[in-house]
Amino acid sequence: MSELLSKSEEEALVSRAKSGDGTAYEALVRHNADRLYAVVLRFSATESDAEEATQEAFLRAWRSIGRFRGDARFFTWLYRIGVNEAKRILDRRPGADVVASTEERRIDDVADEAPHVDVQAEGTELREVLEQAIRRLPDKYRAAVVLRDVEGLSTAEAAEALGLREAAFKSRLHRGRMALRAAVAHYVLDDDDPLPEPGAPELS
């Protein structure tokens, strides 16, 4: 049950949850859990950390739902709590990085290799480098890309989920996508698209 709630359906559930109705809050959990996890995962070192951060975020949000003013969507409030939880968990792990160290080495290695990988491995490798590249994006681009392109929300839905006007959302999405494209350039150019010669003037 992860389809988007209409604003009025959500307001009704939030209102009941605020008055202590656990069943209403559980419905909010079911509707928001997948999307929250998808965002939080990209702020976490491991999947289990992301699950823990997601659970903690829902527990924390339940305890403080009285302070949710309802002028934004529930998810907008919730995902900020989730991202903070993920960062707290990350800080607790000495030396941990949101980008796994083995993957980091992989990405540095490929920069010196031929741009083309064998077709069989291409899908998997692109997924891996994209996962790592997302984690290197500035925070505000990360959530935009995850909700729009990973989770498949429409522009309007993703903008609303993040509490942004559409124009501001589109700008973040564009910058995030272009940064990802630059980061994984070796994986997404085909035989007709040789890399530009080093030092070749490029229009900007």
Partner 1 sequence: MHSPRFHLDHRFTRGRLSAFHDGELGPVERRRVEHHIADCPDCGRAARSLQRVIGGLALLRRRNRSRLAAGVIERLRTQTRRDGDGSRH
Of residues 55, 80, 99, 107, which one binds partner 1 by CB under 8 A?
55
Of residues 9, 15, 34, 93, which one binds partner 1 by CB under 8 A?
34
Of residues 4, 38, 96, 107, which one binds partner 1 by CB under 8 A?
38
Question: Long-range contacts of range 22-29, CB-CB < 8 Å, 24 or more positions apart?
Answer: 25/62, 25/65, 28/74, 29/58
Which x/- pattern, by CB under 8 A, does the window 1-20 give for partner 1?
Answer: x------------------x
Separation between Cα atoms, residue 142 and residue 176, nearest integer Å: 7
Q: CB count, 10 Å around CB of 120? A: 8
Helix (H, G, I), strand (E, B) or coil at 14: helix
In terms of CB distance, is 48 or 101 closer to partner 1?
48
Q: CB count, 10 Å around CB of 9? A: 12
59 binds partner 1 (CB under 8 A): yes
Which x/- pattern, by CB under 8 A, does the window 140-159 give for partner 1?
Answer: -----x---xxxx--x----
Q: For partner 1, how many residues bind (rule: CB under 8 A)?
A: 49
Of 169-198, which residues contact partner 1 (CB under 8 A)? 170, 173-174, 177-178, 180-181, 184-185, 187-190, 193, 196
User: Are the beta carbons of 142 and 173 closer than 8 angstroms?
Assistant: no
Tokens 């994986």 belong to residue: 187
202 binds partner 1 (CB under 8 A): yes
